[in-house]
């Protein structure tokens, strides 16, 4: 709509908002500039605004009402379209519907940060470049178990492996298969096993999570070539990804199902969880926990530790058990570091 079709009142308000923006750096929608309340889903959240997709598939960039604390990709929202696009913004998000679940991570400034909501499946993407890290997989699995969201473990870039190396990584993934997680080796480059990934994605909303550089956006491009998501090479010097994707984005797959690409997180900590939640995030401990000799067993050198006995008997994998202790320890360290930082502010 052109400015000529706005009422004089509206024009005045736009003008006055323009001045307010200069002083307050924020634009405010007045009620008579907004249409009916509509439903939508958040497909991308930016720092100050969010992209809402309507039920008919159009995407509008919107401001957020100041009362809305956090709005994330996957949220079902009510919003109102503006009578005109102003400064690239088309409307305002009024409210967020209650969430089915949340994917969270700790944040030094906000405590807990919600990364996405209403997720049916978390796809933990790992790769052989950067190096395969079972510790990072375990961190994500704890999150999946805590939020009670099914997980799929994907190992990307298997085109880089020789036959012997493939056998080696299969052995590592077998640790997870044995405790009931599904795993999938594939290559975004050659398309190997992509058909199988398609099958996992056909229902509900899935999200790709994982270190920077493992190939999450490259997999999106394999599945949806028209998207043309930005990808970035793993650094030769550090062997790490370069944090190419900066905001999560929800896509629709042709055969059904939604898929969210997310940015790799520098340090995926777990210090927002209680130590017990980490312990319960190890599903193979189930049924053994509570049978240690001492109630306050730390599952280290404690006499009569049932978990350690289970490791010795090969019922619990030793690598998983070692990672468990690393997660508990790094949680303690991060918590004390955070304490310092808060005091510094
Ligand atoms: N050889 C090989 N390289 C791949 C494969 N998949 C991705 N890559 C490369 O890995 C690099 C990183 O890929 P991205 O898709 O940007 O990784 P990402 O996980 O989205 O990274 P962030 O957005 O930083 O979190 C790029 O150079 C890709 O070309 C694969 O299957 N095989
Ligand atoms: Mg990416
Ligand atoms: Zn114990």
Instruction: Report pLDDT digits (tens) over 185-213.
Output: 999 999 999 999 999 999 999 999 999 99
Cβ-based neighbour number of residue 47 at 10 Å: 7
- Does residue 215 have its Cβ closer than 6 Å to ligand 1? yes
What is the number of the ligand 1 atom nearest to the C-alpha of 261?
A: 20
Q: How high is the pLDDT of residue 54?
A: 97
- The residue whose CA is least distant from atom 11 of ligand 1 is 233
Beta bridge partners of 127: 156
Give me the helix-helix angle, 216-223 and 194-201, nearest 10°. Answer: 90
Question: Helix %, strand %, coil % for the chain, to 5?
Answer: 35, 25, 40
- Report d(CA 263, CA 279) in Å as an integer: 27
- The pLDDT of residue 82: 95
Nearest residue by C-alpha to atom 8 in ligand 1: 215
Instruction: Choose the residue to mutate in 136, 193, 213, 222 for probing ligand 1, maximizing ligand atoms within 8 Å of C-beta.
Output: 213
218 lines ligand 1 (CB under 6 A): yes
For residue range 309-319, list pLDDT tens digits in order: 999 999 999 99
How much is the pLDDT for 268?
83
Q: Please count the CA atoms within 13 angstroms of the CA of 294 that sit on its side-chain side.
A: 11
Ligand 1 atom, smallest distance to 156 CA: 31
128 lines ligand 1 (CB under 6 A): no
Q: With a cut of 70, which residues of the chain have pLDDT below it?
A: 1-27, 110, 338-345
The 3-class secondary structure across 237-279, one letter per residue, is: CCCCCCCCCCCCEEEECCCCCEEEECCCCCCCCCCCCCHHHHH
Measure the CA–CA gap between 296 and 275, rounded to whole angstroms.
12
Does the pTM exceed 0.75? yes
The ligand that comes nearest to the alpha carbon of residue 307 is: 3
pLDDT at site 343 = 41
In the numeric block, which tokens belong to residue 133? 């890290």
Contact 213 CB / ligand 1 (< 6 Å): yes
Which of 15, 20, 14 minimizes the C-alpha distance to 34? 14
Tell me the per-residue pLDDT of 47-84, one tens digit each, with 9 for 90 and over. 889 999 999 999 999 999 988 988 999 999 999 999 99
SS3 333: helix
Task: State the closest ligand 1 atom to the C-alpha of 263, by its place in the atom list counted from 1.
Answer: 25
Whether the bond into 66 is cis, omega within 30 of 0 = no
Q: Is the CB of 258 under 6 A from ligand 1?
A: no
Cα 274 to ligand 3 centroid, rounded to whole Å: 17
Q: How many CB atoms lie within 10 A of CB 27?
A: 17
pLDDT at residue 274, as a whole number: 92
Query: Does the beta carbon of 130 sit less than 6 angstroms from any atom of ligand 1?
Result: no
């Amino acid at each position: 709509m052109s400015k000529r079709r706005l009422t004089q009142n509206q024009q005045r308000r736009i003008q006055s908002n323009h001045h307010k923006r200069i002083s307050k750096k924020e634009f405010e929608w007045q009620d008579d500039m907004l249409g009916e309340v509509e439903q939508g889903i958040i497909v991308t959240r930016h720092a100050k605004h969010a992209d809402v997709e309507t039920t008919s598939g159009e995407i509008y960039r919107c401001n957020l009402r100041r009362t809305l604390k956090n709005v994330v990709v996957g949220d079902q929202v009510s919003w109102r379209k503006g009578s005109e696009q102003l400064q690239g913004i088309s409307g305002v998000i009024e409210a967020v519907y209650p969430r089915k679940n949340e994917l969270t991570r700790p944040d030094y400034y906000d405590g807990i940060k919600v990364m996405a909501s209403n997720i049916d499946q978390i796809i933990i993407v790992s790769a052989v470049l950067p190096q395969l890290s079972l510790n990072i997989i375990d961190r994500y699995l704890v999150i999946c178990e805590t939020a009670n969201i099914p997980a799929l473990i994907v190992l990307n870039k298997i085109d880089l492996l020789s036959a012997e190396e493939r056998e080696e990584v299969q052995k590592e993934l077998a640790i997870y298969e044995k405790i009931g997680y599904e795993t999938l080796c594939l290559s975004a480059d050659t398309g190997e096993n992509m058909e199988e990934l398609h099958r996992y994605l056909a229902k509900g909303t899935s999200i790709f999570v994982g270190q920077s550089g493992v190939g999450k956006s490259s997999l999106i491009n394999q599945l949806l070539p028209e998207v043309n998501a930005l990808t970035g090479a793993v650094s030769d010097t550090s062997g790490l990804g370069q944090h190419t994707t900066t905001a999560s984005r929800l896509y629709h797959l042709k055969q059904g199902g939604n898929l969210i690409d997310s940015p790799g997180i520098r340090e995926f900590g777990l210090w927002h969880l209680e130590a017990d939640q980490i312990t319960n995030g190890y599903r193979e401990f189930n049924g053994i926990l509570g049978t240690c000799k001492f109630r306050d067993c730390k599952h280290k050198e404690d006499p009569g530790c049932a978990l350690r006995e289970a490791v010795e008997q090969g019922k619990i994998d030793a690598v998983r058990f070692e990672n468990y202790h690393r997660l508990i320890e790094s949680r303690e360290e991060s918590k004390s570091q955070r304490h310092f930082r808060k005091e510094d502010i």
